[in-house]
Amino acid sequence: MKLHAVVLAAGKGTRMKSARPKVMHALGGRPMLAYVLDAVRQADAADVIVVTGPELCAEVEALGARPVVQEPRNGTGHAMQLALDALRDGGGEVLVVSADMPLVSPALLRAIREKRAAASAPLAMVTARVSLPTDFGRVVRENGRVVRIVENADASERERAIDEVNAAVYCFDSAALRESLRQLQPNNAQGELYLTDCVGAIAAAGGNIETLECGDPVEVIGINNRAELARAEGILRRRILERHMLAGVTIVDPASTYVDAGVRIGQDTVIEPQCHLRGTTLVGRGCTLGPGVMLENAVVGDAAHISHSVVRDSEIGAGATIGPFAHLRNGAVIEDRARVGNFVEVKKSRLGRGAKASHLAYLGDAEIGEEANIGAGTITCNFDGAKKNKTKIGKRASVGSNTSLVAPVELGDDALTGAGSVVTHDVAPGERVAGNPARPLPKKPAPDPR
């Protein structure tokens, strides 16, 4: 049967105390909603709908799902009525998941679908055993048969003593769901239409309700506040680090290492303490990172070594050495075997193969040739007060300490600047200049052939 997925994301999330919608708060560098969408797609959902408020439509579309706006927000039952009206094909199965459950696994979703199909039941739902007290809705049974779900706010003291709770993951036969939704009434403490009342309606009509107890209640944790967000982040982080370690990455101290879900790391890379790998970072094989490295949307080639440095939106070639205390940003490219040393900032610049900027330099909007050497204190003066200008430094050029290169300017291959030079005009290949402003130095006399 065709599987439709409905993700419920219209809750206001007031307990997060945030202007940002709850389901867009991030874990592992991604919004929690993205994890739920991944899970339902991996459970083979052909059509994914997210019921949400109008403020989230653009974000839902950016994540590849169809938004359905719930306004006014009259409860989860009302949300499902809107979702069913929006189904592209009214038949098949409907998988329902809450958007604030980022740890739910595709395996659990596939299992609940299989449970319903095996029994040809109108509904299968996930339950969990939890310690009391809890805010979860309780699963009420009679002679072992599920007869209804009662929300905590509406439960009696006897019902609140039940430790089997509703995990808010359902797989419905669409026809049974549609019929039960027609019967909903706002007869509850919230005055809303509850999706959970569909369970009672199906049971009252004689339908068999299958249940699947979740073996790991962590999977169905719902996030309602920032403390719960932090706990879920910790669980997800341990999962991510374990996946990398089992794939051949050495993580010296997992307790102080933070790796986002979208990061890829090659075998035999060693990550030392206090490292943060974020966004879409890609690290090659045999690298050494840390201690104290932050990479964000970075690409790092094989056998690179980076310590105590920050790299954002930049590329580092194979065998390159970065740090300590370097800062690469805004599209910096460090080619193979190049070195960027302590207290060097590289912005929107390319450092050629084997080139070196070993200490105390700012290289902005520059192109630096192979094997060039950039002396301490070098600055590319790229901003003229109105626009950024480019500096070009040729192959094997030697830039003396405390040189200021006033862009736009070009140093040719094998050119040299003396210490303290202020270069305001192009320097020809092989030419030697010094001074403020820099002027050509006398050529070395030819050696006496005698």
Which residues lie closer than 8 Å to 372 by C-beta, 6 or more apart? 352, 355, 356, 393, 394, 395, 396, 397, 398, 399
Out of 25, 305, 359, 425, pick the active-site residue: 359
**Backbone phi, then psi, for 117, in 5-degree steps?**
-65, -40
- CA distances in angstroms from 395 to 149, 190, 370, 375, listed in the order given: 74, 73, 5, 15
Alpha-carbon span 29 to 263, nearest angstrom: 9
Rounded-to-integer distance, Cα 65 and Cα 95, Å: 14
**Structural tokens at position 170:** 């359902």
Bond preceding residue 54 cis, omega within 30 of 0: no
Other beta carbons less than 10 A from residue 233's beta carbon: 19
Extract the tokens encoding 214.
Answer: 């979740």
The residues that bridge with 443 in the sheet, in sequence order, are: none
Between the alpha carbon of residue 83 and those of residues 46, 51, 172, 430, the distances in Å are: 15, 7, 13, 72
| Torsion angles phi and psi, residue 288, rounded to 5 | -125, 120
Please confirm, yes or no, whether 359 is among the known catalytic residues.
Answer: yes
> Which amino acids are annotated catalytic?
359
